[in-house]
Amino acid sequence: MIRALFRLVFIVFVLYLIYAVVRFFQTIGKSMPSRNEQGPVQGTMVKDEFCNMYLPRNEAVREVRDGKEYFFCSDECRKNFFEANKP
């Protein structure tokens, strides 16, 4: 009786190992989903004033000048925008 129980546990363990190996090899070659494949972006979208790209407000670089709020995708775009629009 105990021998049959050990045999059953062993068979279940071997089947689980086979399952784990198959799942491992299925994931090889699959890349992680990119940002565009992860689903819709939550929150308000804002436009970069320099490169005209839209991005989530919480990820944007924010700058307030003369009471106007500007949003940028990077510090480089922010710097280029203000250099191009010097008074």
pTM assigned to the model: 0.52
pLDDT, average across residues 9-24: 93
Detail the DSSP E strand segments found in the chain.
Answer: 45-47, 54-56, 61-65, 68-72
How many domains is the chain partitioned into structurally? 2
CA distance to 25, 45, 48, per residue, from 32 (Å)? 15, 24, 27
For residue 25, name the pLDDT band (cuts at 50, 70, 90). confident
Question: What is the extent of the structural domain holding 24?
Answer: 1-30
For residue 1, name the pLDDT band (cuts at 50, 70, 90). confident
CA distance to 8, 14, 23, 26, per residue, from 18 (Å)? 15, 6, 9, 12
Same domain, 26 and 39: no
Backbone angles phi, psi at 78, to 5 degrees: -60, -50
- pLDDT given for residue 33 in this prediction: 58
Same domain, 62 and 77: yes
